[in-house]
Copies of this chain bind each other. A is one copy, B any other.
Amino acid sequence: MKKLLFQLDTDPYPSVFDTVVAYDGGADHVIGFADCKPDTISPLVEGAIFTRAEKDKKNSALFIGGSDINLGESILDSVRNIFFGKFQVSVMLDSNGCNTTASAAVVSMLSSGSLSGKKAVILAGTGPVGTRAAIMMAKEGAEVTISSRSHERSAGVCKHIKAKFGVVVQPSEAKSNEDRAKLIENANIILATGAAGIQLLSPEDWQNNPNIEIITDANTVPPLGIGGVEMSDKGNERHGKIIWGALGFGGLKLSLQRLCIERLFDSNDQVLDVDEIFKIAKGMM
């Protein structure tokens, strides 16, 4: 029986990235749907849950992707509302690669020791990857601050995190490199998850700060978010700090996403979101 992955994507084209990784993760066929919305996916979900015998349902699964994580979360809620009794299939949420990218970054940082009690600042952290990483790091025991150019935005994200995921993350406003340099003065860990091509810190903002232990930059387009970081840094030591660039943990992100797809087909009752994907990532260490 063929393993069928139905890709519910919120963008105008289903993600090619997710399609390739799904095939490499063991799906026999990936069937993509574009422009998905919470109120248009019922027939797609019903078609997945009503077509195979109970023992075979594990061979059908759903993947929610696309660049809009809020829409992705709403679709996941819709999908779960349609499930009833044994009429369900496994489903994974990874809009914008948020869960797999954040997991790979956080697990990479964990390779140099526990995050418990560490002060962590996520710069430009209100996007999907920053948000997911904040949840994971807070659950690992770090004191996490999310900074944004707008206090309103960072406060909104922290409120959403508290309400939906039950963890406390501090919001912060930092409009300039100076603001951000000041914000990281007492930090042990810095993670940058800003937009492509915008530098958030200069090398001199961190190189001589003895508090800082780990710096990670998720940016894949130069100039990176944190001056002095190389995209290929893979836990290298620079100025006494451990440095991770996007390519440095990108291999792990790809392996993790493939492994999650593989796991989806183990049973028909899994929901892979932030906690489950982070757990799978930790199992890869």
Contact = CB atoms under 8 A, between A and B. Distances in A.
Interface of A: 1-2, 4, 6, 11-13, 15-21, 23-24, 29-33, 40, 43-48, 50-52, 60, 254
Contact of A43 (B13, B21, B46, B47): B13
A137 to B, nearest CB: 25
- Count copies of this chain in the complex: 3
Contacts of A40: 12-13
Nearest to A60: B20
Nearest to A13: B33
Contact of A52 (B15, B24, B30, B51): B24
Contacts of A33: 13
Given A16-B31, A33-B13, A23 B47 contact: no
Contacts of A254: 51
Contacts of A43: 11, 13, 15-17
Given A13-B40, A29-B29, A47 B24 contact: no
Contacts of A2: 23-24
A166 to B, nearest CB: 33
A179 B135 CA distance: 61
10 contacts: A6-B16, A11-B43, A15-B43, A15-B47, A16-B31, A16-B48, A20-B48, A24-B52, A29-B29, A30-B31
